[in-house]
């Protein structure tokens, strides 16, 4: 009897399974689990975020017509709205009688299409940014304004002539320190801007903080380069590297404490423009060759070592360096009686030839004595082929250099 009942149950179960297979499901099963990213990218779905549609079932169903809503027409104001494009005023012409200003109504879009660097308004000056207008990285439309701002910062942080007078630190000590920092700069393979900023921080600090003794002068130099490295470098040297370079003369704590003193004394302001910033601009304005630019950099680094060049503004010393480079290295494309300081250089540097010549004479006097000077770090640096062996070129001892250096000696007398 039990066997008969078990057989009947088995037959009924098989019959039910066959009936279930023959019945077509009317509802599409819904996956509770979200499909993997791979399935999403491989399957095409007409509705974003929905399951695949059973199109055969849709054909059998009656179409449901949804009545369209009548669009509500907005109320039209009596006066039509006028679309005004932004404008740029050319010149505000003020009437003395009515005190009203006449503003240009040229649309901004037209202004930008036809706008040029304002240096083109003066026809006798060449627009050196004309070829850079298609490059948004060079921001040629703002370049002149940027350099004008740099000159403003330069006037806000001047270095006075003879700022070490009355201090325990002497000009010779400063020259020894800067000469040593140039060698450290080469060993660490730092950027050019880091060296210039280091010397600028030292001079500004010694000018403001006048109680540094000779034992802490090297600590000031190390801390200044530590600050400049963090300001300019992408990967600045570790503080332990500066401890090592001083032969364990100072500890990490000493450097950090001096860094704090320098930062507070300079009021956290390290944005003083460097001679290198202006030199790049002047080289472009004067169409300098690589030999001119490299020689001008040699003149600038030699000027860093010498105390008597500290008071010259960065923009002026850069102009003097490129002027001297143009003077002693001839260009085959130009005549012998070439006009070195062109109107374009006068415009972009804001210095006339008479403004530049005193600094030119001082640089020439330094270069003439460079071979016999005690501080040889810069000269050895520019002996390498990387720097075109600038420091041993015969032009540095030419009659022109001797004549210009003699003018500096006459001025000192």
pLDDT at 238 over 90: yes
Average pLDDT over residues 337-353: 87
- Other C-beta atoms closer than 10 Å to the C-beta of 278 total 26
**Based on the domain organization, do 233 and 344 belong to the same domain?**
no
Average pLDDT over residues 209-219: 94
Q: What gap in Å lies between CA 374 and CA 175, rounded to an integer? A: 10
Select from 232, 265, 298 the last residue of a domain. 265
Both structure tokens of 149: 């701002």
Does residue 220 share a domain with residue 302? no
Dig out the tokens for 310 from the structure. Answer: 């500290």
Q: Is residue 217 part of a domain?
A: yes
- Say how many Å lie between the first and final Cα of the chain, rounded: 139
* Residue 204 within a domain: yes
**Based on the domain organization, do 246 and 318 belong to the same domain?**
no
The residue from 211, 246, 265 where one domain ends is: 265
Whether residue 286 sits in one domain with residue 190: no
What confidence tier does 118 reach under pLDDT thresholds 50, 70, 90?
very low
Sign of CA dihedral 359, 365, 368, 374: negative
Please indicate, yes or no, if residue 206 is contained in any of the structural domains.
Answer: yes
Residues 224 and 288 in one domain: no
Q: What is the mean pLDDT of residues 158-177?
A: 95
Percent of the chain exceeding pLDDT 70 equals: 67
Backbone CA torsion sign across 149, 151, 152, 154: positive
CB-side exposure of 126: number of CA atoms within 13 Å?
11
Q: Please compute the mean of the pLDDT values over residues 116-120 and round it to a whole number.
A: 43
* DSSP H or E run through 40: helix 37-42
324 CB-near residues (< 8 Å, 6+ apart) = 295, 296, 299, 360, 363, 364, 404
- Tokens at residue 115, please? 């706008």
* CA count, 13 A, side-chain hemisphere, 21: 6
How confident is the prediction for the chain on average, in pLDDT? 79
Its domain, for residue 349, covers 275-412
Structure tokens at 63: 């179409």
Query: 280 lies in a domain?
Result: yes
**Is a pLDDT exceeding 60 seen at residue 43?**
no
Nearest to 181 by CA among 226, 211, 148, 232: 226
Interacting residues of 124 by C-beta distance below 8 A, sequence separation 6+: 343
**52-61, 92-101, 349-358: the lowest-pLDDT one:** 92-101
Q: Which residue has the higher pLDDT, 302 or 334?
A: 302
Q: pLDDT, tens digit, for every residue of 57-114? A: 444 444 445 455 555 555 544 555 454 444 444 434 434 444 433 434 333 333 333 3
Q: What local confidence, expressed as pLDDT, does residue 205 receive?
A: 97
Q: What does pTM read for this prediction?
A: 0.70
Q: What is the average pLDDT across 315-328?
A: 96
pLDDT range class, residue 334, cuts 50, 70, 90? very low
Number of domains making up the chain: 2
- Whether residue 332 is found in the same domain as residue 386: yes
Residue 120 inside a domain? The answer is no
Choice among 244-248, 258-262, 338-342 with the minimum mean pLDDT = 338-342
Cα–Cα dist 184/252, whole Å:
17
Q: How large is the average pLDDT for residues 339-363?
A: 94
Tell me, yes or no, whether 98 lies in a domain: no
Do 391 and 290 belong to one domain?
yes
User: In terms of Cα–Cα distance, which of 325, 184, 317 is closest to 241?
Assistant: 184
What pLDDT shows up at residue 42?
40
Give the pLDDT band (50/70/90) at residue 407. confident
What is the helix (H) or strand (E) element at residue 265, kind and residue range?
Answer: helix 252-265
pLDDT of residue 377: 96
Are residues 394 and 280 located together in one domain of the fold? yes
Range 321-350 average pLDDT: 80
What CATH number corresponds to the domain at position 212? 1.10.472.10
Q: DSSP for 2-52?
A: HHHHHHHHHHHHHHHHHHHHHSPPSS----SSPPPHHHHHHS--SSTTSPP
Q: Tell whether the model's pLDDT for residue 172 goes beyond 80.
A: yes
Confidence of residue 209 (pLDDT cuts 50, 70, 90): very high
> How far is residue 101's CA from residue 184's CA, in Å, rounded to a whole number?
60
Model pLDDT, residue 125: 77
Residues 206 and 330 in one domain: no
Judge whether 383 lies within some domain.
yes
Percent of the chain with pLDDT over 90: 63
Q: Is the per-residue pLDDT at 31 higher than 70?
A: no
Q: Are 248 and 181 within one domain?
A: yes
Between 369 and 101, residue with greater pLDDT: 369
Looking at residue 196, what is its pLDDT?
Answer: 98
Whole-angstrom distance, CA of residue 220 vs CA of residue 212: 9
């Amino acid at each position: 009897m039990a066997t008969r009942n078990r057989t009947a149950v088995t037959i009924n179960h098989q019959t039910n399974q066959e009936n279930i297979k023959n019945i077509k499901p009317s509802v599409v099963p819904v996956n509770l689990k979200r499909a993997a990213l791979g399935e999403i990218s491989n399957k095409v779905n007409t509705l974003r975020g929905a399951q695949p549609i059973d199109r055969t079932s849709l054909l059998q169903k009656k179409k449901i017509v949804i009545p369209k809503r009548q669009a509500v027409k907005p109320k039209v104001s009596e006066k039509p709205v006028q679309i005004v494009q932004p404008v740029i005023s050319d010149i505000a012409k003020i009437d003395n009688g009515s005190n009203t200003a006449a503003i240009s109504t040229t649309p901004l879009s037209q202004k930008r299409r036809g706008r040029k660097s304002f240096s083109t308004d003066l026809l006798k000056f060449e627009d050196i940014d004309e070829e850079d207008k298609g490059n948004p990285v060079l921001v040629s439309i703002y370049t002149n304004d940027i350099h004008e701002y740099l000159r403003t910062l330069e006037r806000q942080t001047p270095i006075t002539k003879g700022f070490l007078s009355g201090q325990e630190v002497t000009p010779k000590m400063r020259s020894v320190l800067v000469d040593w920092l140039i060698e450290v700069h080469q060993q660490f393979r730092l950027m050019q801007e880091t060296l210039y900023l280091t010397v600028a921080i030292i001079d500004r600090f010694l000018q403001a903080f006048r109680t540094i003794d000779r034992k802490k002068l090297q600590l000031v130099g190390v801390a200044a380069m530590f600050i400049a490295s963090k300001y300019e470098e992408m990967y600045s040297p570790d503080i332990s590297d500066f401890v090592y370079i001083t032969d364990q003369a100072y500890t990490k704590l000493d450097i950090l404490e001096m860094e704090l003193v320098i930062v507070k004394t300079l009021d956290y302001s390290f944005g003083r423009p460097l001679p290198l910033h202006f030199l790049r601009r002047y080289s472009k304005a004067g169409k300098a060759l690589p030999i001119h630019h490299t020689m001008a950099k040699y003149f600038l680094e030699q000027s860093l070592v010498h105390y008597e060049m500290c008071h010259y503004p960065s923009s002026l010393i850069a102009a003097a360096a490129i002027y001297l480079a143009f003077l002693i290295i001839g260009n085959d494309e130009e005549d012998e009686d070439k006009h070195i300081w062109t109107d374009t250089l006068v415009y972009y540097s804001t210095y006339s030839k008479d403004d530049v010549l005193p600094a030119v004479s001082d640089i020439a006097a330094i270069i003439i004595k460079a071979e016999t000077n005690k501080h040889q770090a810069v000269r050895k640096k520019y002996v390498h082929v990387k720097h075109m062996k600038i420091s041993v070129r015969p032009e540095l001892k030419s009659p022109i250099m001797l004549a210009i250096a003699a003018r500096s000696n006459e001025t000192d007398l």
